[in-house]
Amino acid sequence: MSDPDKPELIEDGVRKTNEPVSSAVAAPEATTRRHEPHEPARTHLPEKLFEARKTVHNRRIDGPFRRFKWFVMLVTLAIYYGTPWIRWDRGPYAPDQAVLVDLANRRFYMFGIEIWPQEFYFVAGLLIMAGVGLFIITSAVGRAWCGYACPQTVWTDLFQHVDRFVDGDRFARQKLDAAPWGPNKIARRALKWTIYLVIGFWTGGAWIMYFADAPTLVHDFWRGEAAPAAYITVAILTLTTVTLGGFMREQVCIYMCPWPRIQTAMMDEKSLLVTYKDWRGEPRGSVKKAERNPGMVGDCIDCTMCVQVCPTGIDIRDGPQIGCITCALCIDACDRVMAEVGRPRGLIDYATLEDCEAEANGAKPRPAWRALLRPRTIAYTLIWGSIGLAMLFALGNRSRTDLSVAPDRNPPFMLMSDGSVRNSYTLSLRNMATRPRPMEVAIEGLPGAVMWSDTMSRAQAARMIRITVPADSTQTMRAYVVAPADTAATSFAFSLTALGEERETDRTETNFDAPQASQ
């Protein structure tokens, strides 16, 4: 460990005395402890029904996991803020934004894919894949989603860096918190909260970009011409971002988020967790004490570095707990300490409970990646992959032409003056391509029948009608089908053929009603 860090090992005075540790399970004096187990007996009423949050001033740390966390943070934020600005040329009849949720027209554009409301199963499929993806990750590496990619974590991390940038690292922040209000504190708080607000505003601002053409929206937004919904959304998201990321932070993970509760059911003794190897660390004791009593003191020197760097302010040495988001910053911290005192790294490490137990009983450590490959994760991955493949297949084979037919039921058929029988239908012709296409509606079967539409006269009746359906839209058309006098009730079909380079056809069976044959 580098020199400037050294005095901080005892910086908080968390451990002022080096009392002998009374038992192997004696709880350490962690900063989060609410009651010391050995304090004098209290009255039987708890002294407080409600308890204020203890601000977490987590300490800066560097290490492989911290660097990975930086990386994930940059990538996720870049995706979030950048995606709406990617352009995608779809021709003159569709928007140029690569990812766009067009609520007004009920379309969802994602690069080369355009999704109509009736194709929403693609979005449902994506959500299922996201769900199964979380199963895979959780069963393999526990709450890695929480530790690195969850928006709450990413923004909390961002805000914690803001704290560090404005107020300094842990010790300075603690001091400032305790200090009375003065010009320095006011100035720093004002600066910090302003930065919070700016981040919150950008967060809300980026969100609305997904729902309208981004450059136009930015322009309208600043001129005060955007839809009220845009301003309201930005205001709400600014507020929630600052509240949840700036002030609530770990409380969201501990009290509000349902995911930790579900995750406990998804993990087992073979899932990787950030684990403190108590069999190796206990009993805790300083390096000096270890020298005095060789073999009697564990590897943990009780420096509380692992507690100080924790973004949720917990003590991992208490065992697996709901507050731990598996961010592994404590691993980075403890590995540094171990290097400092010349002991092997990995006192806190990613390990499965099973491996941990085996190691405690003298087995050789197993590489962590082995935990990733096991029937459960492989099964989840196969499910995940097959959903993905099925969706890709459906996507590649979906038709951009669709015909639906609703026969009139009141009355079901009509006798015409020349004795012929007429049925009426409401047809919906759907052109899901982003350009207008000429289409042909035709009768298949029903010999001798002809049809005409409500925009034609009966004199023009034919077996096929040609119609141009505008880009990306549904055209409703009433069709009157007349069959010769002796036609009996039967089924037949309408076909819809989109002309053009790629001929697409859809076909819908329907019924032709006729009077019961008499005599």
Partner 1 sequence: MTTDRHDGKRVDEATGTETVGHEWDGIEELDTPMPRWWLWTLYLTIVWGVVYVILYPAWPLVDRATAGVLGWTSRGQLAKEMSIADQARTTVREQLVRIPIERLPENSALMQQAVAGGRAAFKVHCSQCHGSGAAGSQTLGYPNLNDDDWLWGGDLKAIHFTLVNGIRQPDRDSTRASDMPPFEGVFDAGQLTALSEHVLSFSGKGRANPVGARIYADNCTICHGPAGEGDRAQGAPRLNDAIWLYGNTREDVARQILRPRMGVMPAWEGRLDPATIKMLAAYVHSLGGGEDFVEVAADPAIEVDERP
# residues contacting partner 1 (CB under 8 A)? 39
Under 8 Å between Cβ of 167 and 188 = yes
Rule CB under 8 A: say whether 454 interacts with partner 1.
yes
Of 361 and 516, CB closest to partner 1: 516
- Residue 61 sits in the site that holds ligand SF4 (CB under 6 A): no
Decide if residue 424 touches partner 1 (CB under 8 A).
yes
Site for ligand SF4 in 273-302 (CB under 6 A): 274, 281, 300-302
The b-or-e profile of 127-155 (16+ CB within 10 A means b, else e) is: ebbeebbbbbbbbbbbbbbbbbebebbbb
Q: Which token pair is 71?
A: 């990386």
Q: Closest separation between CB of residue 282 and partner 1, Å?
A: 14
Among 144, 158, 316, 356, binds ligand SF4 (CB under 6 A): 316
515 preceded by a cis bond (ω within 30 of 0): no
Q: How far is the C-alpha of 469 from the C-alpha of 432, rounded, in Å?
A: 10
* Residue 36 interacting with partner 1 (CB under 8 A): yes
User: What's the min distance (Å) between Cβ of 286 and ligand SF4?
Assistant: 10
What's the closest the beta carbon of residue 304 comes to partner 1, in angstroms? 17
Comparison of 237 and 306: residue with beta carbon closer to ligand SF4: 306
Q: Which residues contact 82 (CB under 8 A, 6 or more apart)?
A: none
Cβ closer to partner 1: 205 or 311? 311
Asked if 284 is part of the footprint of partner 1 (rule: CB under 8 A), the reply reads no
Identity of the residue, 95 or 281, whose beta carbon is nearer to ligand SF4 in the bound complex: 281
Q: Does residue number 261 form part of the binding site for partner 1 (CB under 8 A)?
A: no
Structure tokens at 257: 């988020």
Report the alpha-carbon distance of residue 250 to residue 324 in Å, rounded.
10
CA distance 508 to 195: 59
C-beta of residue 142 within 8 angstroms of C-beta of residue 272: yes
Rounded CA-CA distance 228/211 in Å is 13
Question: Which range of residues in 238-246, 325-333, 445-453, 474-482 is near ligand SF4 by CB under 6 A?
Answer: 325-333
CB of 103 to ligand SF4, least distance (A): 38
455 binds partner 1 (CB under 8 A): yes
From ligand SF4, partner 1, none, interface partner of 36 (C-beta below 5 to 8 A by class): partner 1
Among 416, 462, 464, 488, binds partner 1 (CB under 8 A): 416
Q: Select 50 or 181, whichever has its Cβ closest to partner 1.
A: 50
How far apart CA 256 and CA 247 sit, in angstroms, is 14
Distance CA 378, CA 388 (A): 15
109: three-class secondary structure by DSSP: strand
By CB under 6 A, residue 208 contacts ligand SF4 = no
Verify binding: residue 44, partner 1, rule CB under 8 A: yes
Task: Identify the residue among 140, 348, 403, 469 touching ligand SF4 (CB under 6 A).
Answer: 348
Question: What is the dihedral angle through the alpha carbons of 378, 140, 126, 71, rounded to the nearest 10 degrees?
Answer: -130
d(CA 388, CA 139): 20
How far is the C-alpha of 511 from the C-alpha of 487, rounded, in Å?
Answer: 12
**Can you name the residues that pair with 405 across neighbouring β-strands?**
427
Which among 163, 169, 177, 173 has a CA at the least distance from the CA of 62?
A: 169
**Which one of residues 73, 234, 266, 334 is an interface residue with ligand SF4 (CB under 6 A)?**
334
Rounded least distance, CB 414 to partner 1, Å = 5
From 461, 406, 460, 463, select the one nearest 440 (Cα to Cα).
463
**Residue 330 contact partner, candidates partner 1, ligand SF4, none, CB within 5 to 8 A by sort of partner:** ligand SF4
Task: Out of 20, 131, 411, 470, point to the residue binding partner 1 (CB under 8 A).
Answer: 411
Residue number, 47 or 501, with CB nearest to partner 1:
47
> 3-class SS at 377?
helix
> What distance in Å separates the CA atoms of residue 466 and residue 452, rounded to the nearest whole number?
11
100 touches, from ligand SF4, partner 1, none (C-beta below 5 to 8 Å by class): none
Q: How far apart are CA 41 and CA 52, in angstroms?
A: 23
Residue 22 touches partner 1, criterion: CB under 8 A: no
Identify what 327 binds: partner 1, ligand SF4, none; CB under 5 to 8 Å per kind: ligand SF4
Is residue 288 near partner 1 by the rule CB under 8 A? Answer: no
Stretch that binds ligand SF4, among 233-241, 326-334, 465-473, 476-484 (CB under 6 A): 326-334
Neighbours of 107 (CB within 10 A): 18
Beta carbon nearer to ligand SF4, 1 or 442 = 1
CB of 144 to ligand SF4, least distance (A): 10
| Size of interface with ligand SF4, in residues (CB under 6 A) | 28
What residue spans of 347-406 are helical by DSSP H? 353-360, 375-397
**Could you write out the three-class secondary structure of 301-328?**
CCCCHHHHHCCCCCCHHHCCCCCCCCCC
* Residue-level length of the chain: 519
- 196: tokens are 């919070």
Of 345, 458, 503, 507, the one binding partner 1 (CB under 8 A) is 458
Residue numbers 479-508 binding partner 1 by CB under 8 A: 480, 485
**CB 413 within 8 Å of CB 422:** yes
- Rounded CA gap, 336 and 3, in Å? 12
Residues that bind partner 1 (CB under 8 A): 27, 33-37, 39, 42, 44, 46, 48-53, 248, 251, 255, 408-411, 414-419, 422, 424, 454-455, 457-459, 478, 480, 485
Instruction: Point out which residues bind ligand SF4 (CB under 6 A).
Output: 274, 281, 300-306, 309-312, 314, 316-317, 324-330, 333-334, 337, 347-348
